[in-house]
Amino acid sequence: MKKHIFKIGNKETVVMFLEISELFNFNYKNIIAVFDTNTRKLFPAVLPVTEFVLNPGEITKNWLSIEGILTKALTSGLARDSLFVGIGGGVICDMTAFAGSVYMRGTDIILVPTTLLAMADAAFGGKTGIDFLGYKNMIGTFTPAKEVRVCIDLLNTLPEKEYMNGLGEIFKHGLLRDRKILTILDTKYASVLNRDRDVLTELLERSIFVKAWYVEQDAVEKGLRAHLNLGHTFGHALESVSGFSSVSHGEAVVWGIIKALESGVLMGVTPPSWLEEVRAIAEKYSYNLITPAGITPESLIAALKKDKKKKDSSVQFVLQREQGETFLSPVERSVLLKVLGKRIIRES
């Protein structure tokens, strides 16, 4: 077992790399375990706990689901010293942690991420929440899980699209602080796609340490932590406009990263060589970097205006000068119209 301890705000989060047989050893009397229908099938023999099972997918990430979890907890007699366990991808982890953070003003939370995206990002760092009125993660809290339990072997259960979804966030972490992540993605392409256990373990550990560097210094996103939103402002807009259905979160983030770097090039702050280096790795993994057909720049700009990370009514985009040189800046509408079209800068 590998174990890493991080301090997020006034709480500790322990990230453990475990075998499947070790995932469900809990020292609590009262537990509610939240699954979706897919992850429930993965674990037919879970400890006798109160269960709540949701349908999979982003469409479930809403108030009704939270009400269902809380109602089940209350009618099952769970008190403040109970445990909320989320077993699933980012949607289940976000919702379980949100429900646990507001139930009787807060219970302990343990997350068991089953997707690469949740292991690399959603389960760790304390962001919880749901979508609201068609916009991504508009309602939530900052509540770190007590433990995040990672089992690399679960990644072999993922369909290819879901696996690539998670790689998008790992790719982002490489751009932010750890060039070795980019080197691994670039030079060990076959091992990454074949889900080599050792390679994935290194990528995940490095990715978690990148995120930890930000969240330990800025637990509730007052400044530095906002850099973790590289690609997300554009990406969330694409997810919203596409109805959270046709484009996965990781795919949207990679697309958004390219749009952020293209914006920086047009603004004269990002060297074209950095854009091309990043784009070459993204294209190696066949990410779609062109705005999908039928989605207009105007519709994306309208969604961008709803972004929750505004400052003085201005949307702050995460831009880069180079690898590791990240900053926040507004982007003029004229630049947005150019980069949000179907054609990317290199093809213009």
Boundary (domain end) residue, out of 111, 127, 158:
158
Task: Please indicate, yes or no, whether residues 11 and 148 belong to a single structural domain of this protein.
Answer: yes
Identify the pLDDT of residue 344.
46
Give the domain CATH number at 19. 3.40.50.1970
Specify the higher pLDDT residue, 145 or 58.
145
Residues paired with residue 5 on neighbouring β-strands, in sequence order: 14
Give the domain CATH number at 281. 1.20.1090.10
The CA-based dihedral angle spanning residues 194, 196, 199, 205, taken in that order and rounded to the nearest 10 degrees: 110
Identify the pLDDT of residue 308.
60
Domain assignment of residue 163, yes or no:
no
Domain assignment of residue 70, yes or no:
yes
Domain assignment of residue 165, yes or no:
no
Boundary (domain end) residue, out of 140, 158, 176:
158
User: What CA–CA distance (Å, rounded) separates 254 from 231?
Assistant: 6
Task: Please indicate, yes or no, whether residues 131 and 254 belong to a single structural domain of this protein.
Answer: no
Rg of the chain (C-alpha set)? 20
Task: Please indicate, yes or no, whether residues 144 and 227 belong to a single structural domain of this protein.
Answer: no
Q: For the whole model, what pTM was predicted?
A: 0.91
| Among 42-46, 190-194, 242-246, 339-343, the least confident range | 339-343
Identify the pLDDT of residue 342.
54
Is the Cβ–Cβ distance between 323 and 175 less than 8 Å? yes
* Residue 81, both tokens: 């010293």
Across the beta sheet with 147-150, the strand order is: 2-8, 11-17, 147-150, 108-113, 83-88, 31-36, 50-54
Task: Please indicate, yes or no, whether residues 139 and 260 belong to a single structural domain of this protein.
Answer: no
Task: Taking residues 309-326, report their average pLDDT.
Answer: 86
Domain assignment of residue 281, yes or no:
yes
Is pLDDT above 70 for 310? no
Task: Please indicate, yes or no, whether residues 44 and 138 belong to a single structural domain of this protein.
Answer: yes
Is pLDDT above 80 for 326? yes
Reduced to 3 states (helix: H, G, I; strand: E, B; else coil), residue 319 is strand
Boundary (domain end) residue, out of 158, 177, 210:
158
178-230 pLDDT tens trace: 999 999 999 999 999 999 999 999 999 999 999 999 999 999 998 999 999 99
Domain assignment of residue 309, yes or no:
yes
Task: Please indicate, yes or no, whether residues 28 and 151 belong to a single structural domain of this protein.
Answer: yes
Which residue's structure tokens are 């790795």?
281
Identify the pLDDT of residue 135.
83
Is the Cβ–Cβ distance between 289 and 342 less than 8 Å? no
Is pLDDT above 60 for 348? no
Count of domains observed in the chain: 2
Task: Please indicate, yes or no, whether residues 133 and 250 belong to a single structural domain of this protein.
Answer: no
Q: How many CB atoms lie within 10 A of CB 341?
A: 14
Split at pLDDT 50, 70, 90, the class of 345 is very low
Task: Please indicate, yes or no, whether residues 243 and 333 belong to a single structural domain of this protein.
Answer: yes
Split at pLDDT 50, 70, 90, the class of 78 is very high
Which residue's structure tokens are 């972490």?
173
Task: Please indicate, yes or no, whether residues 8 and 104 belong to a single structural domain of this protein.
Answer: yes
Identify the pLDDT of residue 14.
98
| For the chain, percent of residues with pLDDT exceeding 70 | 96
Identify the pLDDT of residue 245.
74
Task: Please indicate, yes or no, whether residues 149 and 227 belong to a single structural domain of this protein.
Answer: no
Task: Taking residues 100-108, report their average pLDDT.
Answer: 97
User: What CA–CA distance (Å, rounded) separates 201 from 227?
Assistant: 24
Identify the pLDDT of residue 126.
95
Is pLDDT above 80 for 46? no
Domain assignment of residue 185, yes or no:
no
Task: Please indicate, yes or no, whether residues 150 and 228 belong to a single structural domain of this protein.
Answer: no
263-307 pLDDT tens trace: 999 999 999 999 999 999 999 999 999 888 889 999 999 999 887
Identify the pLDDT of residue 313.
65
Identify the pLDDT of residue 32.
97
Domain assignment of residue 217, yes or no:
no
Is pLDDT above 80 for 347? no
Structural domain that includes position 108: 2-158
Task: Please indicate, yes or no, whether residues 14 and 135 belong to a single structural domain of this protein.
Answer: yes
Pairing of strands 83-88, 31-36: parallel
139-185 pLDDT tens trace: 999 999 999 999 999 999 999 999 999 999 999 999 999 999 999 99
